[in-house]
């Protein structure tokens, strides 16, 4: 379904400047933006993917991964088409690298998405699989509808949303599960075809300042973003800008697409990344995409007791009592 975009500026000669993400495309009449999901028609900008649902599933929130917001809860996950990055090893490239111009996937209204979440015992909606910023109008309407029914909301995002879009959705967005893909402009250029990372970091900082629950993911790709210096830069930034309590997930990369020639990330490298994070003072650093790994569990950062045991995306046991360690009483960061 096509709807007029909420954030754009009309320019001379019928062009428009899109204000949805940090690319801020200037789009001449009859043309599309970088992501192909927004089109200038007669001097107005339209989203062509409103309600276009390419993927829908019900998962525990651990799958996003989010570990400190109602652990073990069920969420409805929705994805659409397109992306404002072109990560060469994207796991969801069939939908996120979409550029065909024909949408061709089913329509689901925001209200029906909320109804589906409630009918399936979900406590919230996640917009995920592709970059949720691209169907900003739909996620904003969906988040408002979810809030009216008392559901929670979650963006699984690369952080390349504009400050004004984030400000608009902030009052109805609870969780910001954001990638920090590296800690240099060079890495962001190689991975996301984005010229600089400063705008991403500023958005994450703003999400935190709006009161959202923030968790950070770095998918560690061999020879791309796995140097000690880059990982230490991310960890130190998280501690300084977001706080030592912010969960950081260092996840295993599996070969895909243009990076199919690489080997999966060695588990030893993920463990080294986890050590870098804790050495920098982060309290909750998780090894991801390694089912059964001891560092996928949550431990009390005061006495070291095992609090939440996980296997894959499942919570095996949650010993936290009212969000605190039962042994020493130390509160666990997050929402329980
Ligand atoms: S959403 Fe981003 S990439 Fe797409 S048209 Fe707007 S500014 Fe360009």
Q: What is the DSSP string of 34-81?
A: TTSSEEEETTEEEES-TTB-SEEEEEEGGGTT--SBSTT-EEEEEE-S
Nearest one of 59, 66, 22 to 217, comparing CA atoms: 66
DSSP H helices in 101-181 = 110-119, 136-148, 163-169
33 CB near ligand 1 (under 6 Å):
yes
Residue 301: how many other CB atoms lie within 10 Å: 18
pLDDT at 261: 94
Whether 20 and 90 share a structural domain:
no
Number of domains in the chain: 2
Whether 264 and 293 share a structural domain:
yes
pLDDT digits (tens, 9 = 90+) for 188-203: 999 888 888 999 999 9
Q: Does residue 327 form part of some domain?
A: no
The CATH number of the domain holding residue 87 is: 3.20.20.70
The DSSP bridge pattern shows strands 3-4 and 44-47 to be: antiparallel
Q: Does residue 334 form part of some domain?
A: no
Q: Does residue 215 form part of some domain?
A: yes
Whether 217 and 304 share a structural domain:
yes
16 CB near ligand 1 (under 6 Å):
no
Ligand 1 pocket test: which of 15, 134, 161, 199 has the largest number of ligand atoms within 8 Å of its C-beta?
134
36 CB near ligand 1 (under 6 Å):
no
- Residue with CA nearest ligand 1 atom 4: 35
Whether 24 and 163 share a structural domain:
no
pLDDT at 225: 96
The DSSP bridge pattern shows strands 16-18 and 213-220 to be: unpaired
DSSP H helices in 239-317 = 267-279
Ligand 1 atom nearest the C-alpha of 45 is 5
pLDDT digits (tens, 9 = 90+) for 29-48: 999 999 999 999 999 999 99
Whether 76 and 181 share a structural domain:
yes
Q: Does residue 324 form part of some domain?
A: no
Which are the contacts of 102, defined by CB distance < 8 A and separation ≥ 6? none
Whether 214 and 137 share a structural domain:
yes
The domain of 152 spans: 55-318
Q: Does residue 302 form part of some domain?
A: yes
- Residue with CA nearest ligand 1 atom 5: 33
Whether 302 and 282 share a structural domain:
yes
pLDDT at 334: 96
19 CB near ligand 1 (under 6 Å):
no
248 CB near ligand 1 (under 6 Å):
no
34 CB near ligand 1 (under 6 Å):
yes
pLDDT at 207: 98
How far is the C-alpha of 109 from the C-alpha of 52, rounded, in Å? 9
pLDDT for 65 beyond 80: yes
Cα of 313 vs centre of ligand 1, distance in Å, is 32
274 CB near ligand 1 (under 6 Å):
no
Tally of residues, the chain: 336
Whether 81 and 209 share a structural domain:
yes
How far is the C-alpha of 327 from the C-alpha of 336, rounded, in Å? 17
Whether 310 and 220 share a structural domain:
yes
Residue labelled with tokens 């923030």: 214
Query: What strand order describes the sheet that includes 152-157?
Result: 55-60, 74-79, 124-127, 152-157, 175-179, 213-220, 248-252, 285-288
Cα of 42 vs centre of ligand 1, distance in Å, is 17
Q: What is the dihedral of CA 158, 159, 160, 166, to 10 degrees?
A: 140
Q: Does residue 325 form part of some domain?
A: no
20 CB near ligand 1 (under 6 Å):
yes
- The helix (H) or strand (E) run that includes residue 26 is strand 26-27
pLDDT digits (tens, 9 = 90+) for 224-282: 999 999 999 999 999 999 999 999 999 999 999 899 999 999 999 999 999 999 999 99
In this prediction, residue 103 has a pLDDT band, given cuts at 50, 70 and 90, of: low
Mean pLDDT of the chain: 96
Ligand 1 atom nearest the C-alpha of 160 is 2
Nearest one of 117, 264, 73, 294 to 127, comparing CA atoms: 117
Whether 9 and 145 share a structural domain:
no
Whether 240 and 209 share a structural domain:
yes
Q: Does residue 326 form part of some domain?
A: no
Whether 39 and 105 share a structural domain:
no
Cα of 9 vs centre of ligand 1, distance in Å, is 12
């Amino acid at each position: 379904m096509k709807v007029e975009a909420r954030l754009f500026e009309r320019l001379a000669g019928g062009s428009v400047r899109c204000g949805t993400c940090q690319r801020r495309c200037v789009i001449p009449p009859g043309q599309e933006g970088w992501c192909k999901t927004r089109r200038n028609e007669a001097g107005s900008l339209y989203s062509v993917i409103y309600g276009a649902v390419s993927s829908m599933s019900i998962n525990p929130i651990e799958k996003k991964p989010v570990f400190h917001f109602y652990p073990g809860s069920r969420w409805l996950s929705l994805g659409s088409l397109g992306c404002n990055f072109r990560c060469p090893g994207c796991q969801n490239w069939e939908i996120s690298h979409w550029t065909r111009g024909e949408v061709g996937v089913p329509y689901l209204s925001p209200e029906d998405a909320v109804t589906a979440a409630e009918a399936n015992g979900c406590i919230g909606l996640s917009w995920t699989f592709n970059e949720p910023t691209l169907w900003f109008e739909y996620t904003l309407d969906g988040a408002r509808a979810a809030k009216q029914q008392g559901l929670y909301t979650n963006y699984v995002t690369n952080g390349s949303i504009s400050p004004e879009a984030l400000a608009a959705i902030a009052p109805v967005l609870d969780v910001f599960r954001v990638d920090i893909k590296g800690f240099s402009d060079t890495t962001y250029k190689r991975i996301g075809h984005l010229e600089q990372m400063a705008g991403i970091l500023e958005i994450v900082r703003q999400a935190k300042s709006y009161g959202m629950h923030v968790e950070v993911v770095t998918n560690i790709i061999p020879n791309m973003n796995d140097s000690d210096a880059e990982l230490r830069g991310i960890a130190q930034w998280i501690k300084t800008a977001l706080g030592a309590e912010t969960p950081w997930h260092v996840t295993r990369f599996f070969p895909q697409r243009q990076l199919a020639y690489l080997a999966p990330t060695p588990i030893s490298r993920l463990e080294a990344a986890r050590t870098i994070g804790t050495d920098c003072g982060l309290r909750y650093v998780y090894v991801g995409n390694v089912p059964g790994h001891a560092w996928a569990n949550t431990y009390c950062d005061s006495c070291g007791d095992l609090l939440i045991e996980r296997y894959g995306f499942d919570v095996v046991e949650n010993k936290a009592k009212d969000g605190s360690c039962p042994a020493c009483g130390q509160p666990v960061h997050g929402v329980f």
